[in-house]
Amino acid sequence: MADAENAIIYTNTGKRYMISEIVNYSRESDYVVFKISNSASNNFKPVKFAKSNPKIGEYCFAIGNPRGLTQTLSKSIISGYRENYIQTTAQITHGSSGGALFNNDGEVVGITTMGFEEADLNFALNTVNFDFFKINNIVEKPINQENVNYKEQAVAIIRQYLKALGNNDFAKLDNLFSPEFTRFYNKFNVDKYEAIAEHQKYAETYPYPQSNIFTNTIKTNLDYDGSVTVSLKMANTIKKKSWNKSRAFEFEMYVRFNKSLKINSVFTNIIN
């Protein structure tokens, strides 16, 4: 995550979800707790976390993406415990770290972290008795949305946002943005003035970008915490002085609003 150019969830059914907020992280333990958009409408089946450690010698299973081979299952054994880590014979090669380590009952006992292929030494962060959720108060309850026209208003605000960018009207953004952004493109936790400055900096190279939303792609979702997420596809035309002609790109765009319908998270992903 630290040096990623993109941060987005892809499911095995082809759906995509924006990582809208970093809740907590630890460089030392190598984990990130984050929120995704569309949380109120997804039908994910959560994994269960084990309440006790498996014994040394018991079977365990790792699921990861070694060398880009998604959903790879590896069978192994628990070979030891080293402070906050489980030592296992499950091969943890490039691309497979960050996956779950399961016990024989299909419960998560660890998050795979690193491995040394030449010595068959592999390690997973022990998640038994480590309550990521209680520590950060992540569990949320559904709320009643007082603003029944949030869909139309949210889309209208996005059009204002894109129009302001096309006109280099950065003063307009001050009213559209929330004081804090949980995500601004590939940055997390920035204030709105830093976000506006980033747009001004971009406009120095690509002034007056023109955007066209594909109306039939607009989807809106009300999340548990009262925020509204809009996803859509759009065409964006840009030009700079050194080019002979304009260039057009197609984007997926995700915009999240707080309960007051102020933009507090935005991300785009080039698709064509």
- Residue-wise pLDDT for 4-23, tens only, equals 777 888 777 777 788 888 87
- For residues 246-260, average pLDDT: 91
Kindly report the pTM of this predicted structure. 0.69
- 117 — pLDDT class (breaks 50, 70, 90): low
In the chain, which segments carry CATH 3.10.450.50? 150-270
Is the pLDDT score of 142 beyond 50?
no
- For residues 189-211, average pLDDT: 93
In the chain, which segments carry CATH 2.40.10.10? 59-127
Bigger pLDDT: 37 vs 220:
220
Cα Rg of the chain (Å, integer): 22
Four-way CATH pick for 59-127: 3.90.79.10, 1.20.1420.30, 2.40.50.180, 2.40.10.10: 2.40.10.10
State residue 1's pLDDT score: 76
Find out whether 154 and 145 touch, Cβ atoms under 8 Å.
no
| Angle (nearest 5°) at CA 44 between 271 and 229 | 50
Fold designation for 150-270: Nuclear Transport Factor 2; Chain: A, (3.10.450)
Give the C-alpha separation, 92 to 67, whole Å.
10
- For residues 142-158, average pLDDT: 74
Return all residues near 47 (Cβ < 8 A) that are at least 6 apart: 100, 102, 106, 107, 108
Q: Percent helix, strand and coil across the chain, each rounded to 5?
A: 20, 40, 40
| H or E segment and range at residue 135 | helix 132-136
What strands lie across the sheet with 228-238, from one edge to the other? 187-191, 180-184, 263-270, 247-257, 228-238, 210-222
Q: Which amino acid is residue 87, in one-letter code?
A: Q
Bigger pLDDT: 116 vs 249:
249
Among 115-119, 143-147, 238-242, 246-250, the range scoring the smallest mean pLDDT is 143-147
Find out whether 9 and 269 touch, Cβ atoms under 8 Å.
no
- 230 — pLDDT class (breaks 50, 70, 90): very high
Find out whether 250 and 272 touch, Cβ atoms under 8 Å.
yes
Find out whether 255 and 222 touch, Cβ atoms under 8 Å.
no
Going by their DSSP bridges, the two strands 8-10 and 72-82 should be labelled as unpaired
Give the C-alpha separation, 100 to 124, whole Å.
8
State residue 157's pLDDT score: 96
State residue 141's pLDDT score: 47
Q: Which amino acid is residue 84, in one-letter code?
A: N
Helix boundaries (H) for 150-229: 150-166, 173-176, 192-205
Find out whether 262 and 176 touch, Cβ atoms under 8 Å.
yes
Find out whether 103 and 109 touch, Cβ atoms under 8 Å.
yes
Going by their DSSP bridges, the two strands 263-270 and 180-184 should be labelled as parallel
State residue 95's pLDDT score: 66
Bigger pLDDT: 129 vs 110:
110
